[in-house]
Amino acid sequence: MRFVYATAATLDGFLADADNSLDWLFVVEGGDESLAALETFVAGVGVMVEGSTTYRWVLEHEDLLEAPEKWQELYGDKPTFVFSSREDLPVVPGADIRVVSGRVADHLDAIREAAGDQDVWIVGGGDLVGQFDEAGALDEIWVSIAAVTLGSGAPLLPRRIESDRLRLVDVEQVGQFAGLRYRVLR
């Protein structure tokens, strides 16, 4: 089992624009091929983890409260841990969504148990990923760098990880995306 941060970012290092939107991502050439590679990765994932801002964007973008069956199409029946300090976070009907709060370290045992021998996909955001790293639970970073700049927005990873802890293990071009995979050393 690995804890993997797999995401797309802009050339200037943002996950989402200043309005927390990912719409910029869906107009970049090669996006369909990049999504196909992500689907292969997701097939080996046992648990997804995300922050409340990412979760809310998916809820709204996919209209999941009105069409909860889309959750199954997107993510299957994988348990999803949503880290949130918000008490009013809606949950998609029929989905295995576990809203948790507090320190990442306090939830690692439950996440590992739910994942079994499959990977944990840390969907985002970047600050949550940094918390997983600080808890010693970040094994790989997979980032597809898109040929677009936003100038501002949500940063890819707003925590410091020194170069002596990152090992580049793969580089791949898919359309206008540069796929980079790093192993994170402890």
Confidence of residue 35 (pLDDT cuts 50, 70, 90): low
Q: Which tens digit of pLDDT belongs to each residue from 11-34? A: 999 999 998 888 898 888 876 676
Q: Which tens digit of pLDDT belongs to each residue from 135-186? A: 999 999 999 999 999 999 999 999 999 999 999 999 999 889 999 999 999 8
Looking at domain 3-184, its CATH class is: alpha beta
Phi, psi (5° rounding) for residue 80?
-125, 120
Q: Which tens digit of pLDDT belongs to each residue from 87-137? A: 789 999 999 999 999 999 999 999 999 999 999 999 989 999 999 999 999
Which run of H or E residues covers position 81?
strand 80-83
Question: Tokens 């709060």 label which residue?
Answer: 101
pTM above 0.85, yes or no: yes
Q: Measured between alpha carbons, how far is 107 from 51 in angstroms, rounded to an integer?
A: 14
Per-residue pLDDT, 150: 96
95: Cβ–Cβ under 8 A, 6 or more apart, which residues? 68, 71, 72, 75, 80
Helices (H), ranges, 28-77: 31-43, 52-61, 69-75
Q: Measured between alpha carbons, how far is 131 from 134 in angstroms, rounded to an integer?
A: 5
Buried b (16+ CB within 10 A) or exposed e, 43-63: eebbbbbbbbbbbbbbbeebe
Is the predicted pLDDT of residue 73 greater than 90, yes or no? Answer: no
Domain ranges, ordered by start, for the chain: 3-184
Q: Can you read off the two tokens belonging to residue 164?
A: 């002596």
State how far Cα 66 lies from the chain centre.
Answer: 23
State how far Cα 151 lies from the chain centre.
Answer: 21
Q: Measured between alpha carbons, how far is 183 from 140 in angstroms, rounded to an integer?
A: 5
